[in-house]
């Protein structure tokens, strides 16, 4: 391939990536909620939820904090999110919800909370 063609491809891909970052721009609290949910940090999740942020915020793949916590089997975080009215029916871009991932990874306590 010639350099000019590769440059055009690079520019087009750069524009796509640059524009998509605006679509899914999260503020610091939203990022922290998603990260804390992945890592099972229930203290941080609780503090962030006290700020009344949108508990159903989604990352660039469409995962919510509930989906991320369910994937990793963080029962206490899942319980906190559900108490804060996290929507169990939200699906990510793969068409899967929190219960799907809890079942897939056999996180029994999380499954009980979500059913």
Span 42-100, pLDDT tens digits: 999 999 999 989 999 999 999 999 999 999 999 999 999 999 999 999 999 999 999 99
The predicted structure's pLDDT at residue 20:
47
Contacts of 61 (CB under 8 A, 6+ apart): 92, 93, 94
Q: What is the pLDDT of residue 24?
A: 55
Q: What is the pLDDT of residue 12?
A: 63
- Give residue 11's pLDDT: 62
Looking at residue 105, what is its pLDDT? 96
Give the contacts of 80 (CB within 8 A, at least 6 positions apart). Answer: 42, 45, 46, 49
Question: What DSSP line would sit under 41-91, residue for residue?
Answer: -HHHHHHHHTTT--TT---TT---HHHHHHHHT-HHHHHHHHHTT--TT--
Q: Binning pLDDT at 50, 70 and 90, where does residue 21 land?
A: very low
CB-CB neighbours of 74 under 10 Å: 25
| pLDDT surpasses 60 at 3 | yes
pLDDT value, residue 7: 58
Compare 3 and 108 and report the one with higher pLDDT.
108
Split at pLDDT 50, 70, 90, the class of 25 is confident
37: Cα within 13 Å, side-chain hemisphere = 29
pTM of the entire structure? 0.79
DSSP single-letter state for residue 24:
T
């Amino acid at each position: 391939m010639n350099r000019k063609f590769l440059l055009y491809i690079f520019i087009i891909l750069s524009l796509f990536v640059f524009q998509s970052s605006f679509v899914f721009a999260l503020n610091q609290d939203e990022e922290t909620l998603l990260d804390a949910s992945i890592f099972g940090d229930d203290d941080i999740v609780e503090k962030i939820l006290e700020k009344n942020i949108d508990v159903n915020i989604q990352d660039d793949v469409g995962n919510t904090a509930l989906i991320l916590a369910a994937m990793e089997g963080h029962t206490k975080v899942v319980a906190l999110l559900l108490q804060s009215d996290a929507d169990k029916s939200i699906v990510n871009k793969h068409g899967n919800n929190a219960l799907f991932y809890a079942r897939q990874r056999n996180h029994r306590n999380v499954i009980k909370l979500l059913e």
